[in-house]
Structure 1
Amino acid sequence: MTQGIPDSLAELWRHGGRLDEAMRLFPDSPRPWLDLSTGINPRAWSPPDLPQPDARALPTMAALRGLEAAAADWFGTSPERVAAVPGSDLLIRLLPQLLPRAPLLAVVPGYASHLEAAVGAVSLADVAKSLRQGDNLLFANPSNPEGHLLGRAELLDIVGQGGWLVLDEAFADATPGSSLAPHLHGEEPVILLRSFGKFFGLAGLRLGFAIAPPAVIQRLRALLGDWPVSAHAIAWGTAAYRDRDWITQTQAFLGRQAAALDALLAQHGLAGDGACPLFRLVRHQDARAIFRRLARAGILARPFEHQPDWLRFGLPADDDALSRLRQALAHG
């Protein structure tokens, strides 16, 4: 370690949001830190009349089904095709128990948890071929970390070619029109994974959803038991999905803020890539040096172990956050 700068960033490679590790590795950086390492909405849903459920009582089945119905209505599908789960990351790890015994392969590059749940990897170019061979495939749309978006027609063309297609739509709420949920109605071999926390900015609530044929949903509910999510997750999730004014306003805000981030990065010779407004991936030969420069300024971006020229920027919450990032990039 030289001048307070760690020689290895291994602690920060696995996931974004590891602010405690960043503070440990860069103890002399100014505080409070600005965390730009995740794809989580920096302006969380927080209405003045936030529901306050009674945590002393077990959640009722009626309340749970009400949450799933509210989510299904927003997703554009029917409630019998939706199951609430305690975070989409857990759902990823349950996939081997839900799918047929064919191998589950993760598309690379991709989300670290996908690779941990899978037994192998495949490139995006070989997705259709692998499905025809009977493999089950897992990948994100928009992709993580690149933010690339496959069109609905392209995805529907590969549905039903053999194995099961598992699409992680964690960022679909921030990317209107990207979800396959409204276009699947029968027994198509497709499972969609949805995240509540990323778009609504409440990642710590640990709430996600599976969208799948009813038989798969029943197997999942049997695995999770009668109380898969907390009373707060049920109450807040139900109210949030019904808050269409906030959803519409937030989608517009995210688009404007992403454009502001793109312009800021371009001013410093950094081209942000991706269709998801919650983050931008930059490819630059000095990505590691830029990461360290930002960390010394108390700003956490997202580095990658096997792509040393990659650096991902989450969305700054406001003009003050944009200004702080601008100053840190300018004083290199």
Structure 2
Amino acid sequence: MVDGFDLEHHGDLEVGDGLIDLAVNVRAGTPPAWLLDAITASLTDLAAYPRQDAALAAVARRHGVAPERVLLTAGAAEAFVLIARAFRPRHPVVVHPQFTEPEAALRSAGHLVDRVLLRPDNGFVLDPAAVPSDADLVVIGNPTNPTSVLHPADVLRELARPDRILVVDEAFMDAVPGEPESLVGGSIPGLVVVRSLTKTWGLAGLRVGYVVAGAGLIEQLAAVQPHWPVSTPALAAAIACSNERALAESAQAALDIDRQRAHLIDRLGTTGGLSMYGVPRAPFVLVHVAEALRLRESLRTQGFAVRRGDTFPGLGAEWLRIAVRPEDVTDGFVKVLADLVR
């Protein structure tokens, strides 16, 4: 616990046997069969140590950068640990509410972390002036977990400084059609973009993600990374998820999520007692509701798991995060939710 917030609590702890999962932000129905086939085919190579060259090249092509600007990691979580170990900022700042793992990793590495809290009454919109000018490492999610807000790329560029490392967590960016606000591959001084293959492709158990940054920053991160950090099956997944077929499926999935999220928002709007702040753009929505913790437990008894919000700095006990799911699942969930709220 840090200042009353359990930074180590994640959505998977909400899920249990027999519960319909609206707590974990992994796309329903994944991983697809073709991805499982690619991973399975790699199992014949397990006797050899993992070789990253092909996966690095595939990810680099996907983002239009040189391979030396990519670092493969055991999920986005490892990327935050490497950032905390490789860099020695004097004044690190994390913009909240957001995914708590970056702050947890920084604190575990001995850093004294400052927070900038975005406000719900302002739609969780970022004002770059709110970030202290002397902050030499800034972390922000885009789109942000759990607020679902997508920050404009031009606003994030205002955070860049020649003497600052700007870490942008884009774990959910591929769920945004066209990825219009992505900074990946940009030539911004000190920019470090973290990506994950977990959310869109359903690979939480495989642990695969990557960092895109300047070659010098990648060298610093690689210097504190253990040898062979990414397994052979995970490398096969990185290759498969970076080809043209995968990009086309990901683009369609983003459109599907847009439609499903609009349906969820519309249905939630018919339920009294709920409020939403900001414009949701990620595969989840954040709602404010009285007695949310009690409501979450009641939902569990009715077969639904949602994510508590009180473990995120800047939020409290009246917040819940709800994952976007297909329309039929949403309809069943909102019917139960409405009955419980009444």
Q: Which secondary structure state, in structure 1, belongs to the residue aligned with residue 174 of structure 2?
A: helix
1:4 aligns with: none
- The percent of aligned pairs where both chains have the same amino acid is 26
For 1:128 and 1:164, how far apart are their aligned partners in 2? Answer: 16
Tell me the equivalent position of 2:255. 252
Q: Deviations over 1:168-212 (max 9, x none)?
A: 11111112222101322x6x1111111110122221111111111
Partner of 2:318: 309
Unmatched segments (≥5 aa) in structure 1 = 1-9, 24-30
Q: Which amino acid aligns with 2:175?
A: A
Matched, 1:16 2:11: yes
Provide TM-score, normalisation by structure 1: 0.84
Alignment of 1:22-41 (within 5 A): 23=16, 32-41=18-27
Number of aligned residues:
309
2:339 equivalent to 1:323: no
Q: Measure how far apart 1:231 and its partner are.
A: 0.8
* Runs of 5+ consecutive residues of structure 2 not aligned to the other structure: 107-111, 119-125
Using a 3 Å threshold, how does the CA distance of structure 1 residues 249 and 233 change in structure 2: closer, same or farther? same
Query: Which residue does 2:113 correspond to in 1?
Result: 120
Q: Is the 2:128–2:156 contact (alpha carbons within 8 Å) kept by the matching residues of 1? A: no
Structure-1 residue corresponding to 2:109: none
- Map 1:96-245 onto structure 2 (within 5 A): 96-118=84-106, 119-123=112-116, 128=129, 130=131, 132-160=133-161, 162-175=163-176, 176-184=179-187, 188-242=189-243, 243-245=246-248
Q: Does 1:57 align with 2:47?
A: yes
Backbone CA RMSD of aligned residues: 2.5
Q: 1:79 maps to which residue?
A: 67
Segments of 4+ moved more than 4 angstroms: 10-13, 124-131, 271-274
Sort the Cα spacing of 1:252 and 1:59 in 2 relative to 1 into closer, same or farther, 3 A.
farther
Cα gap change, 1:236/1:140 in structure 2, threshold over 3 Å: closer, same or farther? same
Distance in structure 1 (CA, Å) of the matches to 2:283 and 2:26: 7
Shift of 1:223: 2.4
CA displacement at 1:271 relative to structure 2 = 4.2
Relative to structure 1, is the Cα distance of residues 200 and 331 closer, same or farther in structure 2, using a 3 angstrom cutoff? same
Q: Deviations over 1:142-163 (max 9, x none)?
A: 1121111211111112212532
**Per-residue deviation at 1:55?**
4.8
> 1:283 aligned to 2:288?
yes
Cα distance in 2, alignment partners of residues 181 and 102 from structure 1: 25
Q: What amino acid is the match of 2:290?
A: Q
Partner SS for 1:267: coil
SS in 2 for 1:331: helix
**Structure 2 Cα separation of the partners of residues 47 and 245 of structure 1:** 15
Residue 44 of structure 1: which of 12, 30, 41 is its match? 30
Give the 3 Å change call, closer, same or farther, for CA 258–228 of structure 1 in structure 2: same
Higher mean alpha-carbon deviation, 238-247 vs 285-294, is at 285-294
The answer to whether the Cα contact below 8 Å between 1:132 and 1:162 also exists between their aligned partners in 2 is: no
- TM-score for the superposition, normalised by structure 2: 0.82
Q: Which amino acid aligns with 1:304?
A: G
CA distance in 2 between partners of 1:59 and 1:12 (Å) = 34
Indicate if the aligned counterparts of 1:293 and 1:328 stay in contact, CA closer than 8 A: no
